Amino acid sequence: MNVKMEAQAPTNNATSAAAKQNTIRQAMRLRRRSLSRAEKHCAAQSASRQLNTMPGFHRAQLIALYFAANGELDPRVLLRKLRARHKRVFVPVLPSMGHPRLWFVEVTATSRFTANRFGILEPKHGRRERMKPNQLDLVFVPLTAFDAAGNRIGMGGGYYDRSFAFRRHTPHFRKPKLIGLAYDWQKLAHVETNPWDVPLDGVLTDQRYYTSRNL
């Protein structure tokens, strides 16, 4: 589906998929928020131990994570492990109002942070420090639910789908790898998709690494 078609009014199927995704999103967010601090920490530690099972992980040098919000699986343990292995680690920064795509900025030992309009920390940076999404090797993507085909339900803002839309329009372009990061119980038998959704290459959970059937 091309960009021009995406700009049209949503079809009934797309409207139905969006409604189903919103229902699932609310239920998953509620369950995530019910987790104790100990449960969240244990899950994050367990997920970090699954890193070595990911294809291509050792070759990746420019890797993006996110700062957790609303009970998301916290990747800070992964961040420390990646930097110990001399990987360069980036996090997303929101664009200015009206700009629909994310930039990515490196996190270093001297980074200073500020909260964005959603209350999520971002590194303070200059324009020249921004990295484009297609320059990264691997991106850990937040989600509220996923399935074995690599379909994902995000938080509803659409930033990741817009930022990595080139992966859908040019399937041969395999960089960066998009890896969901989630609790294992967030896996569903099937996720209803929208035409603009960008599938994942895999999902790393606190239990295992899933390779998408879309590969």
- Provide the residue ranges of all domains of the chain, joining segments of one domain with +: 3-211
Whether the bond between 199 and the residue before it is cis, its omega within 30 degrees of 0, is no
**Residue 208 three-state SS:** coil
- Note the pLDDT tens digit of each residue in 77-93: 999 999 999 999 999 99
Q: Compute CA distances 97 → 71, 101, 102, 117, 151, whole Å.
A: 25, 10, 11, 10, 27
3 state DSSP class of 136:
coil
Q: Is the dihedral of CA 43, 114, 139, 141 positive or negative?
A: positive
CATH number of 3-211: 3.40.50.10420
What is the pLDDT confidence band of residue 155, given thresholds at 50, 70 and 90? Answer: confident
CA distance 120 to 100: 17
Name the band, by pLDDT with cuts 50, 70 and 90, for residue 175.
confident
63 near 138, Cβ under 8 Å?
yes
> How would residue 4 be classed by pLDDT, with cut points 50, 70 and 90?
very low
Q: Which of 209, 214, 210 lies closest to 193 in space, CA to CA?
A: 214
Instruction: Report long-range pairs for 184-188 (Cβ below 8 Å, ≥24 apart).
Output: 184/208, 185/31, 186/28, 186/143, 186/144, 186/145, 186/146, 187/145, 187/146, 187/147, 187/148, 188/24, 188/145, 188/146, 188/147
Q: Is the pLDDT of residue 170 over 80?
A: no
pLDDT of residue 12: 63
